[in-house]
Amino acid sequence: MIKMRFRYTLGKNGKPVKKALVYTQDEHHIVQADIDTEALSILERLRANNFESYLVGGAVRDLILGKKPKDFDIATEASPNEIKRIFRNSRIIGKRFRLAHVFFGDKIYEVSTFRSLKDGSSGNTYGTIEEDVLRRDFTLNALFYDSRDELVIDYVGGMKDMKEKFIKPIIPLKVIFTDDPVRMVRCLKYAATSGFAIPSALKARIKTDANLLANVSPSRRTEEMMKIIKNPAAPEIVQLIFQYGLYGYLQNDAARLMQRSSAFYEAYLASLGQCASGKVCMLEPLISDYLIEENRKGAFPQSNSAEENWSKAFKLARAFILPMNPPRVELEKALTSIMHGMGISSKKPTRRRHR
Residue 154 confidence (pLDDT): 96
Give the whole-angstrom CA distance, residue 93 versus residue 100. 6
Give residue 1's pLDDT band: very low, low, confident or very high (50, 70, 90). Answer: very low
Show Cβ contacts of residue 141 under 8 Å, excluding neighbours closer than 6 positions: 57, 58, 61, 158, 190
pLDDT at 223 over 80: yes
Q: 101 - beta bridge partners?
A: 91, 110
Of the candidates 204, 121, 146, 108, the one whose C-alpha atom is nearest the C-alpha of residue 20 is: 146
- Pair 162, 173: CB distance under 8 Å: no
User: What integer is the mean pLDDT of 301-328?
Assistant: 93
CA distance 285 to 76: 39
User: Domains of the chain: which residue ranges?
Assistant: 5-169, 287-341
| CATH no. for 5-169 | 3.30.460.10
Contacts of 185 (CB under 8 A, 6+ apart): 213, 224, 228, 241, 246, 250
Active-site residues: which are they?
A: 71, 73, 137
What percent of the chain has pLDDT above 70? 91
Tens of pLDDT, residue by residue over 235-291, are 999 999 999 999 999 999 999 999 999 999 999 999 998 876 666 668 898 999 999
Q: For the segment 173-197, what is each residue's pLDDT rounded down to a tens digit? A: 999 999 999 999 999 999 999 999 9
- Of 108-122, 249-263, 295-309, give the lowest mean pLDDT range: 108-122
